């Protein structure tokens, strides 16, 4: 599995380099998959520090593992502080971790909501095929924490690598519902969003950590995420601001 992760990383880095401005000194950014839209927006802006940066998206747990394995990364943005804390404890990081955005959990269902799902409790129904993120990845941990706190027992038919994979299962009609981040559900017109009252009790924070010494680009990227341009881009995509 670790070999596969390295191959995927290599392919994603080559693809990103090929689609950039042609320079070979762009900062390398690892980011949680739920940030793909907002960081792609920024990278398409010639005035943004993210223009020319090499972007690689996956679950935060996978990205952190690749950093520990020695992947050359300037900045990592995780959907889970625990991943960042583990990196810092392992000796990684050249800056203090910074919270750059917030999110919440929702239920994504087929447009029209044919099964009439209205609450978290409905996910325990025997007629509902449910997708959730796998244990060990941030979304999976957030989902499990929420369900346990609400004392709701569910039997997912599939465990996915990240929010986008859960969302895809709903869009393709392979499941009836999926627990995802609000921003991922809102990114698609092919699902309907069911708000979760219990989701307000789960604090979803995106934490950024600079990993390279002397990388002016990495500093610029982090400053932009915390500045007006970055915060406005995050807000437009539905993220909460710290």
Check pLDDT > 70 for residue 2: no
Residues forming beta bridges with residue 215, ordered by sequence position: none
User: What are the start-end ranges of the E strands in the chain?
Assistant: 28-32, 54-58, 75-78, 98-103, 105-110, 130-133, 158-160, 177-181, 191-195, 204-210
Check pLDDT > 60 for residue 23: no
Query: pLDDT by residue (tens digit) across 51-99?
Result: 989 999 998 999 999 999 999 999 999 999 999 999 999 999 988 999 9
* Pick from 106, 105, 133, 128: nearest CA to 191: 106
**How far is it, in rounded angstroms, from Cα 135 to Cα 146?**
13
Global model pTM greater than 0.85? no
Q: What structural domains and CATH numbers belong to the chain?
A: 2-102+205-236 (3.40.190.10), 105-201 (3.40.190.10)
């Amino acid at each position: 599995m670790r070999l596969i992760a390295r191959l995927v990383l290599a392919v994603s880095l080559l693809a990103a380099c090929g689609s950039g401005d042609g320079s070979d000194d762009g900062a390398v950014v690892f980011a949680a998959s739920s940030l793909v839209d907002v960081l792609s927006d920024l990278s398409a802006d010639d005035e943004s520090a993210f223009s020319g940066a090499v972007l690689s998206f996956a679950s935060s747990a996978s990205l952190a593992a690749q950093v520990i394995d020695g992947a050359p990364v300037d900045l990592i943005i995780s959907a889970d502080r625990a991943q960042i804390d583990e990196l810092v404890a392992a000796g990684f990081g050249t800056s203090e971790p910074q919270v750059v955005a917030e999110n919440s959990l929702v239920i994504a269902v087929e447009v029209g909501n044919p099964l009439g799902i209205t609450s978290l409790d409905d996910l325990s129904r025997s007629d509902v095929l449910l997708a959730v993120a796998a244990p060990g990845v941030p979304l999976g941990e957030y989902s499990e924490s929420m369900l346990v706190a609400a004392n709701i027992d569910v039997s997912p038919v599939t465990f996915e690598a990240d929010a986008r994979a859960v969302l895809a299962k709903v869009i393709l009609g392979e499941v009836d519902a999926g627990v995802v981040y609000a921003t991922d559900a809102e990114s698609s017109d092919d699902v309907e969003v069911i708000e979760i009252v219990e989701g307000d009790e789960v604090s979803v924070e995106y934490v950024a950590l600079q990993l390279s010494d002397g990388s002016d680009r990495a500093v610029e990227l982090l400053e932009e995420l915390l500045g007006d341009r970055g915060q406005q881009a995050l807000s437009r995509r539905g993220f909460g601001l710290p």
